[in-house]
Structure 1
Amino acid sequence: MNCRNCHAALRTDYSFCPDCGAKVVRNRITIKNLLYDFFERYFNLDNTFIKTLRHMIIKPQEVCGGYIAGVRKKYLNPISMLAIALTSSGFILFLMKKVAWGSIDFSKISYAQTSSGGSGTEKIMSATMEYSSLLYFLYIPIIALASYLVFNKKNYNYAEHFVISIYSLTNFSIISTIYAAILIIIDPQSYIDTALMYVVFMIFYCIYVAYKNSKYHKISLLWRVPVFWIVFFIGYMGVSIMSIIMLFVTGDISIEDFVPKN
């Protein structure tokens, strides 16, 4: 028999191709082996996914620094982490739209109120959620820039800080998916009300990862953390303004949404 990927000749007792490393598949696809492959790939405690999540909490410098140094097999690569994070974000978006949306009182959301009241807020938040994946991507270069400017004792270039920011954001997003899903189902109003706190925790985690990937003394955090926040805030405001402009251009929102109702 031959390998179906590289067409090299295989012995009948081979489980993997010695030339390309691909797994030898002998049976047709079934629901059972699809489920087995999924859980084996993502939830096996010995695999790189779980190890990456865990080590990004206790020793993120080994995950990020290792990838930058060329260690690419020990942990899941940042692009795969990004794909999983976007999938988990899509799941949360689905829960918001299909499960929680009707239970949310948008007139009580203080940080996103418009002059037209809850209806305007609901429309803006609904439109923004449609572009959530794009906004997620835009946070990556902002975090990377803040990390590059504030935590760069190792002289990593911007692209290498980009890798660190991907690992930071995706790890936080994936781990927080369980919390978000439970809160959306149990108390969706609280989930919406605490959205800004979610962002605060996310940025502090990114600062933690950036710090662990540097060699600065802890005392320097007294000025590095505020500067990191300032850089992020400027970028965040830029993304927010750009998002509003984009929503106006696409027609998702209009001036009428900001006009007080009589």
Structure 2
Amino acid sequence: MLCKNCNTDLQNTQKYCFECGAKVINNRLTLKNIFEDINNQFLNYDNKFIKTFLFLFTKPEEVILSFINGTRKKYINVIQYFAISLTLVGFQIFLMNNFFNDAIGLDEIYGDAFSKFEHQENNPFSPSNFDYAQINNYQSLIYILTVPFSAIATWIAYFITGYRKFNFTEHVVLNLYYSAQIIIISAVFTIIFLCFGVSFMLITSIITLLTFAYFFYVLKRIFNTKFLDTLGVFLLVMLIILAFFLALIILVAIIGIIIAIKKG
């Protein structure tokens, strides 16, 4: 008998492959099998998803360092975990665009400020023209694109400060796990709070503060540094990310000017 996942020779009595760890399945696919797999993967207490989720709060270094050091079966693979978080974001975007669209407009930010100015019909940032739902559709892409930038930022910050514990790829793993965790929490809490009529801007503000606090916590646990040392690196990471953001804004502005000049 061959393993259906890695083609390793197995004994007929084996229930798991000793090479890849996959479960040996001989029965035909049924709905019962599918629901049993879903239960084993996501619903029971001892499953990898709940274990990964809880440990990323209580012992983030256990999950992240285990993956970096070669453990692949104890916790959910970093790519799979990030994919799950993006799936939840998709569900959040669907609910927000279809049921909470009125709660997330720019009028919450600017109030009636735009009404005091003339000729706002062509202003893309005016609440009457700004399509938040359209921007929302790119949320998953934005999350994906931010991971490399945050990984570069942490890698540079720790390289500069002398904590050269991980290479760049390992910093990507760190940031993927961290990002997936905050995306899951953000999506769940956003949906719950919007259902109770809580202001979207208040939700965003609270989640942003918790995101920074959790990022600091993860860095401290992973690198096992003193509070002030971690704070210094954390602030450096934030400065690097801010520099990336400002550079991106300048680049977009330059491109916009060039396009406007050509059209003119």
TM range (shorter): 0.7 to 0.9
Distance in 1 of aligned mates of 2:54 and 2:100: 30
**Residue in 1 that maps onto 2:27:** 26
Q: CA deviation at 1:79?
A: 0.4
Percent sequence identity over aligned pairs: 26
Q: Does 1:128 align with 2:135?
A: yes
Q: CA deviation at 1:165?
A: 0.3
Question: Taking structure 1 as reference, are residues 221 and 25 closer, same or farther at Cα in structure 2, changes over 3 Å only?
Answer: same
Distance in 2 of aligned mates of 1:158 and 1:186: 42
Q: Which has the higher contact order (CA 8 A, sep 6+)?
A: 1
Distance in 2 of aligned mates of 1:241 and 1:200: 26
Question: Taking structure 1 as reference, are residues 192 and 36 closer, same or farther at Cα in structure 2, changes over 3 Å only?
Answer: farther
Q: CA deviation at 1:234?
A: 2.4
Q: CA deviation at 1:40?
A: 1.6
Q: CA deviation at 1:52?
A: 1.1
The one of 229, 235, 239 equivalent to 2:244 is 235
Give the 5 Å matches for 1:1-20. 6=7, 11=12, 15-16=15-16
CA contact (8 A) 2:157 2:237 kept: yes
Q: CA deviation at 1:203?
A: 3.1
CA contact (8 A) 1:3 1:10 kept: no
What TM-score results when the alignment is normalised by the length of structure 1? 0.77
Question: Taking structure 1 as reference, are residues 64 and 233 closer, same or farther at Cα in structure 2, changes over 3 Å only?
Answer: same
The one of 154, 162, 169 equivalent to 1:147 is 154
Distance in 2 of aligned mates of 1:243 and 1:95: 30
Distance in 1 of aligned mates of 2:180 and 2:39: 20
Structure 1: runs of 5+ lacking an equivalent: 249-262
Q: CA deviation at 1:238?
A: 4.7
Distance in 1 of aligned mates of 2:82 and 2:231: 31
Letter in 1 for 2:225: Y
Give the 5 Å matches for 1:180-199. 180-187=190-197, 190-199=199-208
Question: Taking structure 1 as reference, are residues 131 and 110 closer, same or farther at Cα in structure 2, changes over 3 Å only?
Answer: same
Question: Taking structure 1 as reference, are residues 203 and 8 closer, same or farther at Cα in structure 2, changes over 3 Å only?
Answer: same
Which 10-residue stretch deviates more, 49-58 or 216-225?
A: 216-225
Question: Taking structure 1 as reference, are residues 182 and 10 closer, same or farther at Cα in structure 2, changes over 3 Å only?
Answer: same
Distance in 2 of aligned mates of 1:227 and 1:179: 29
- 1:206-251 residue CA offsets vs partner (Å, 9 max, x unmatched): 23212211132212234333222212222344556778999x8xxx
Structure 2: runs of 5+ lacking an equivalent: 115-119, 257-264
- How many residues align structurally? 242
Question: Taking structure 1 as reference, are residues 167 and 200 closer, same or farther at Cα in structure 2, changes over 3 Å only?
Answer: same
Question: Taking structure 1 as reference, are residues 163 and 109 closer, same or farther at Cα in structure 2, changes over 3 Å only?
Answer: same
**Residue in 1 that maps onto 2:117:** none
SS at match of 1:45: coil
Distance in 2 of aligned mates of 1:75 and 1:157: 21
SS at match of 2:61: helix
Give the 5 Å matches for 1:159-170. 159-170=169-180
Q: Give the RMSD, CA atoms, in angstroms.
A: 3.2
**Residue in 2 that maps onto 1:254:** none
Distance in 1 of aligned mates of 2:90 and 2:252: 19
Give the 5 Å matches for 1:90-105. 90-105=90-105
**Residue in 2 that maps onto 1:210:** 219
SS at match of 1:70: coil
CA contact (8 A) 1:109 1:193 kept: no
Letter in 2 for 1:72: R
